[in-house]
Amino acid sequence: MDIRRVAMLSVHTSPLEQPGTGDAGGLNVYVVETARRLAQRGVEVEIFTRRTCASLADEVVLAPGVLVRHVDAGPYEGLRKEDLPAQLCAFAAEVMAQVARQPHGHYDLVHSHYWLSGQVGWLVAERWGVPLAHTMHTMAKVKNAALAEGDTPEPLTRIVGEEQVVKVADVLVANTETEATELIDLYAADPVKVRVIEPGVDLTTFTSGAASTARSRLDLPVDADLVLFVGRIQPLKAPDVLLRAVANLLAREPHRRSNLIVGVLGGPSGSGLERPRALQQLARDLGIADVVQFVPPVSRAGLADWFRAADLVAVPSRSESFGLVALEALASGAPVLATDVGGLPGAVGPGGRLVRGHDPADWASAIAGLLDDPDLRKQLSEAGIAHAAAHGWERTTDDLFSAYVEAVQHKRRVL
């Protein structure tokens, strides 16, 4: 059967935003990449997101067949993600008003991303008589079980909201088998509704290449040991673990200091916004500010260069539903060192090493082991490239389209 048009909802973050800072991250990449590929298959995709600036056009063409529609809900600026539950009614009303002029059956399905969008999706899908597909991306109960010391737990409002969305969605898209189990065990999801569809990697942008060439473009020393962190600067992503590990390593082996660079790419996000310079202060307090380079988020092509330049990419997250950064790094030829949590083992596969827990000493030893073994890094690089090659966004989109068709067919039989 044909799926002609899909409404995607991304209330709290726009697909037009730069990933790596604020609320923009893997969710944004997921929405953009799947929407583009659905459109290439002949499915029109309209993405509804909250307007955060008065100058934003009502509609923006993201790619052929992909339209971003800006929705007025609350003041344009100054609203935190935590403030948005109070604006969900306004968002839903505006979405329905925008679509009111369209004929019945304009959309075949609604796909909501993150729980805030799920709440809106619940209303509009019911109004339009179409199925609701939902992707959690992260879950409050999982995050709260892995909080960093001093981090703020997710509120009960979010937990209840997630439980409601899980109950009403026609299909729940889980990134991994682990996430599927969490949906069933922690949220009482109906197993029949859960579909495991792994996110992918853009294999045209994230490609391997000579580290020396990439370093030349980035103005980095050719012979330095480059350890890289990429992601939003917040406790959940645990960049502080990497800095503490580096401090531990240099205390044990001070000779490394003259040849070590730690790159931190990203901007403040989440609870990290409360202290946007805290990581820089930590580097100074640890006495390693001279080896740490803080770099704001870069373009996707620029990010691929950083991955190619790196000797290893560290992903010390406390919780991770999948780990797009890890997969993008592998596709670019960089070995990955990641925490053994959530979806990271599956994302890393044979292209890296896993560390249990967040003890800086353990991370320091793992970093040293990889930096001191170029043959192992080469082996991991080759294995990682092959692993990533099997995880293109095309496969993700194929599986997503199949889930859409199944949901639409089931809905039509029920109605």
Average pLDDT, the chain: 94
Residue 28 annotated as part of some ligand binding site: yes
H or E element, residue 128: helix 114-128
Please give the C-alpha separations between residue 286 and each of 62, 224, 266, 280, 290, in angstroms, as whole numbers.
43, 21, 20, 10, 10
Q: What is the pLDDT of residue 274?
A: 53
Ramachandran assignment for 335, one of left (phi > 0), alpha (psi -120 to 50 degrees), beta (any other): beta
Give me the percent of the chain exceeding a pLDDT of 90.
85
pLDDT at residue 269 tops 60: no
Between CA 243 and CA 294 the distance in angstroms is: 12
* Residue 25 marked ligand-binding: yes
Looking at residue 1, its pLDDT comes to 64
Question: According to the annotation, is 411 in a ligand binding site?
Answer: no
207: its two tokens = 């490609």
Q: Is 26 annotated as a binding residue?
A: yes
For the cut 80, the answer to whether the pLDDT of residue 415 exceeds it is no
Report the distance separating Cα 241 and Cα 247, nearest Å: 10
Nearest of 404, 7, 4, 388 to residue 198 by alpha carbon: 388
- The mean pLDDT value for 358-364 works out to 97
State how far the Cα of 31 lies from the Cα of 43, in Å rounded to an integer.
14
- What pTM value is reported for the model? 0.93
pLDDT at 389: 97
Residue 272: pLDDT over 60 = no
Start-end ranges of CATH 3.40.50.2000 in the chain?
5-200+393-414, 211-389
The H or E element spanning position 395 is helix 393-414
What mean pLDDT do residues 86-103 have? Answer: 93
CA 399 to chain centre: 19
Q: How far apart are CA 299 and CA 202, in angstroms?
A: 13
143 has binding-site annotation: no
Query: Binding residue per annotation — 308?
Result: yes
Q: What DSSP letter does each residue of 58-74 carry, written as one string?
A: SEEEEETTEEEEEE--S
How far is residue 291's CA from residue 269's CA, in Å, rounded to a whole number? 23
Coil, strand or helix at 147: coil
Structure tokens given for 79: 């609203």
Report the pLDDT averaged over residues 377-381. Answer: 98
Q: Would you say 18 is a known binding-site residue?
A: yes
Is residue 294 scored above 70 in pLDDT? Answer: yes
**Residue 265 buriedness (CB in 10 A; 0-12 / 13-18 / 19+):** buried
Q: Is 406 annotated among the ligand-binding residues?
A: no
| Mean pLDDT, range 289-299, rounded to an integer | 95
396 is in an annotated binding site: no
The correct answer on CATH 3.40.50.2000 for the domain covering 211-389 is yes
Tokens at 63, concatenated: 């790619």
pLDDT tens for each residue of 22-32:
777 889 999 99
Give me the mean pLDDT over the 153-159 stretch: 95
- Rounded-to-integer distance, Cα 194 and Cα 135, Å: 10
232 annotated ligand binder: yes
Residue 93: pLDDT band with limits 50, 70, 90: very high
Mean pLDDT of 177-197: 97
Is position 307 annotated in a ligand binding site? yes
* 20 labeled part of a ligand binding site: no
* 298 labelled ligand-binding: yes
| pLDDT tens-place string over residues 313-348 | 999 999 998 899 999 999 999 999 999 999 999 999
Q: 352: annotated binding-site residue?
A: no
In this structure, whether the domain defined by 5-200+393-414 belongs to CATH 3.20.20.70 is answered with: no
Q: How far is CA 64 from CA 39, 72, 116, 202, 335, in A?
A: 7, 24, 27, 18, 35
Consult the annotation and say whether 126 binds a ligand: no
Other C-beta atoms closer than 10 Å to the C-beta of 389 total: 12
For residue 288, what is the DSSP state? -
**Residue 373 marked ligand-binding:** no
Q: Residue 260: what are its φ and ψ, rounded to 5°?
A: -110, 135
Is 265 known to sit in a ligand binding site?
A: no
Helix (H, G, I), strand (E, B) or coil at 3: coil
Residue 99 has pLDDT above 50, yes or no: yes
Task: Please tell me what DSSP assigns to residue 209.
Answer: -
36 is in an annotated binding site: no
Model confidence at 267: pLDDT above 90: no
DSSP letter (8 states) at residue 103: P
User: SS in 3 state form for 356-403?
Assistant: CCCCHHHHHHHHHHHHCCHHHHHHHHHHHHHHHHCCEHHHHHHHHHHH
How is residue 78 written in tokens? Answer: 């100054």
Terminal C-alpha separation, the chain: 17
> Residue 46 and residue 65: Cα distance in Å, rounded?
8
In the chain, what percentage of residues exceed pLDDT 70?
A: 97
Q: Is 138 annotated as a binding residue?
A: yes
Using only C-alpha atoms, the chain has a radius of gyration, in whole angstroms, of: 21
Contact criterion met (CB below 8 Å) for 240 and 276? no
Please tell me the predicted confidence (pLDDT) of residue 413: 78
At 51, is the secondary structure helix, strand, or coil?
A: coil
Residue 101's contacts (CB-CB under 8 Å, 6 or more residues apart) are none
Q: What is the pLDDT of residues 139-149, one digit of tens each?
A: 999 999 988 87
Distance of CA 55 to the CA centre of its chain: 27
Take residue 257 and report the two structure tokens written for it: 């200091």
